[in-house]
Structure 1
Amino acid sequence: MAKKPLLEFTDRGIYCARGKFYIDPWQPVDDAVITHAHADHAYPGNKHYLAHHLSKEVLLYRLGEIQLQTVEYGETVMKNGVVISLYPAGHVIGSAQIRVEYQGEVWVVSGDYKVEDDGISTPFEPVKCHHFISECTFGMPVYTWKPQVQIFEDINNWWRTNLHNGMATVLVGYSLGKAQRILQNLDLFNGKVYTHGVIENTNDALRRNGVLLNPTERITPDSIKEEVRKGIILAPPSSVGTTWMRKFQPYSFGYCSGWMAIRGAKRRRAADRGFVLSDHADWNGLISAIDATGCESVYLTHGYTASFSRYLNEIGFDAHEVHTLYGDDEEASPQPSSEEREQTSEGDEKQKNADQVLSLGEDLGEAGGPVS
């Protein structure tokens, strides 16, 4: 009889029968281990949660009063003889890979991750294992990121140009991860950073958790429009096209996302500028991270799973595509246009329709109010 795997893919999530817990379950369970606080990985309704301590206040903000245990990176927790430990994923503040070990067999669940040090999240750390469960959100060769220092140089130059032209600057990125990364890497040469309520609520939660962030000012109905327009405005995707954003006209609107790497994405977002800034690993980052684990097999949970698993098998990995409900986070892409399918396929007809990209998720939390 074949040995039962330590981790299984079920209709509730990734399950460890030996330990009687789930990792990032999407249906309510008794015992959940959470990789990070994005809505597609941290669902409500579980009886008990285990996560990294820097996710604590954001999880409480997003999920309400929950039974939550938090640990440091590298700290071990035992569940029914199974050893659990968390290691940095580099995705957002508090994100973790989950290492699971029993009788010498080691599995690692990546959650979402990136390999570039963003200056605010604990940098990604490869973890040796027998079996690696990985995302591949940007698992196509067209997705190759430039160093973030180049991206922020472009953003700062754009901001200066807007000021020179009498335009307000509105920069859009999701509220947990992207907003804080932008905040910590901007050149604050011209004063204040103003924030939409959703982003500021998340900033407040992180500050309660002891995270040091650059100063920000929440936009409220009492905010003076002309003062706000002198700074830079950070807004979530859910604010695009709303009355709230139109209050700052005339403005130039920029969008930060890995999807800006393909033509047409900026146009469909109605953005004036698109900045290729992702909190997920690019093509090369995925391959290097998987290789660094030394794993015997890899399971791909969300993103370009079909084409990426084919590629990994071609270069010698034992790769498998699995179905999960991950991927519908704040950086998930809408269905690509035919033009964008052509770009991502790079001439390979088999890849044009093989991949599923999930719909755009909304940020959670209350919206910011209008300004006077």
Structure 2
Amino acid sequence: MSRSPVLTFTDRGIYCPSGDFHIDPWRPVDRALITHGHSDHARWGHRRYLSTEAAAPVIRHRLGEIDLRTIAYGERRTIGGVTVSFHPAGHVPGSAQIRVEEAGEVWVVSGDYKVAEDGLSEPFEPVACHAFISECTFGLPVFRWTPQAQIAADLNHWWAANAAEGRTSVIGAYSLGKAQRIMAAVDPSIGPILTHGAVEATTVVMRNQGIALPPTTHVTPSFDAKGHPGALVIAPPSALGTPWANRFGPAAEAFASGWMALRGVRRRRGLARGFVMSDHADWDGLNEAIRATGAERVFVTHGYTSVFRRWLESQGYDAGIVETEYEGEEAAEPEPLVE
């Protein structure tokens, strides 16, 4: 008689029957193992949480008073009839892939990940497994990312050119991960770095846990926004084009996202400049990561699932689609526009 799968897929999320826990569940459960702090993966309402030590401060900041326990990268812990461990996903600081082993069979849930190092997140670590549950947010060949060093050079050139013309540079970037990548990549000698409240709050949490980031100034309601020509302003994408963003006087707006690889997206947003910058794996990164696992079975979630599954099947994988409520890069920024 065949054994039940190590992980199953339910209307609450990815479930481990032998361990009686869920991974990144989207409806309230008793025990939730959380890959990272973005709101589509770490949700309020579970009775118990487990995350990496590095992800915990942001999760607590976003979810408030919760029963959250932590685990170190690589530490093995027995839960019920399985052994679990968390491994770097390279997505944002503290993000993890979750390895689940039962009777010698290993499944890995990737959460969100990228294989290119960004100088901020713990580098992605391939984890050997029999079955791999992979995101495919950018699972089309058109998505191939610019190297981090080139992104930094492009950001600095754009910012410096705007500053030389007396314009403020306003860039939309998700407040957990992308905003801090931009801070770490740019040259602060060009001018001051100003932040929207949602970005500043997350940045303070990350600084307090020892992540090195350049000085920033929070744009409060009483802040003299027009008194800092040549500044770089980092704000959530939802702030672009609003009265909040228009308070800086002459300005140039841009958006940092993997979706900027598509010209149509840039046009619809009405942006003169877009930076192709993502905290998710591109086409090559997805394929590289999956090959490195050695998995024969691959389940794909959120993204171009149908196309990517067909591609995997053409490469000899036993591939399937898992319907989830994860939303990828488009909806990773739910914060209200508080200043």
TM range (shorter): over 0.9
SS at match of 1:265: helix
1:112 CA displacement: 0.3
Give the aligned partner of residue 20 of structure 2.
Answer: 20
Report if the CA contact (8 A) 1:194-1:228 is conserved: no
Percentage identity across paired residues of the two chains: 53
Give the aligned partner of residue 184 of structure 1.
Answer: 184
Give the aligned partner of residue 174 of structure 1.
Answer: 174
Alignment partners' CA distance in 2, 1:302 and 1:316:
21
Deviation per residue, 1:32-74 (Å, 9 max, x gap): 0000000100011000000011111111111110000111110
Alignment partners' CA distance in 1, 2:86 and 2:336:
27
The residue type equivalent to 2:215 in the other structure is P
Deviation per residue, 1:156-209 (Å, 9 max, x gap): 111111112221100111000000110101111223211000000101111232
TM-score normalised according to structure 1 size: 0.89
TM-score normalised according to structure 2 size: 0.97
1:366 CA displacement: 5.7
Give the aligned partner of residue 32 of structure 1.
Answer: 32
Bigger mean CA deviation after superposition, 269-278 or 13-22: 269-278
User: Aligned pair 1:161/2:132, yes or no?
Assistant: no
Bigger mean CA deviation after superposition, 290-299 or 185-194: 185-194
Give the aligned partner of residue 275 of structure 2.
Answer: 275
Alignment partners' CA distance in 1, 2:160 and 2:224:
21
Report if the CA contact (8 A) 1:297-1:319 is conserved: yes
Number of equivalent positions: 339
The residue type equivalent to 2:69 in the other structure is Q
Q: Map 1:247-266; keep pairs closer than 5 Å.
A: 247-266=247-266
Question: Tell me, which stretches of 5 or more residues in structure 2 are unaligned?
Answer: none
The residue type equivalent to 1:274 in the other structure is G
The residue type equivalent to 2:207 in the other structure is R
Question: Tell me, which stretches of 5 or more residues in structure 1 are unaligned?
Answer: 333-359
Give the aligned partner of residue 363 of structure 1.
Answer: 334
Alignment partners' CA distance in 2, 1:269 and 1:122:
32
Report if the CA contact (8 A) 1:198-1:363 is conserved: no
Deviation per residue, 1:92-131 (Å, 9 max, x gap): 0110000011111111000000000000000001000010
Q: Map 1:1-372; keep pairs closer than 5 Å.
A: 1-327=1-327, 329=328, 331-332=329-330, 360=331, 362-364=333-335, 367-368=338-339
**Is the alpha carbon distance of 1:9 and 1:260 closer, same or farther for their aligned partners in structure 2, counting shifts above 3 Å?**
same
The residue type equivalent to 1:288 in the other structure is E
Deviation per residue, 1:189-235 (Å, 9 max, x gap): 22321100000010111123232222111111232223333321001
Report if the CA contact (8 A) 1:82-1:101 is conserved: yes
The residue type equivalent to 1:226 in the other structure is K
Report if the CA contact (8 A) 2:193-2:231 is conserved: yes
1:84 CA displacement: 0.8
Bigger mean CA deviation after superposition, 157-166 or 220-229: 220-229
Bigger mean CA deviation after superposition, 143-152 or 224-233: 224-233
Alignment partners' CA distance in 2, 1:83 and 1:365:
39
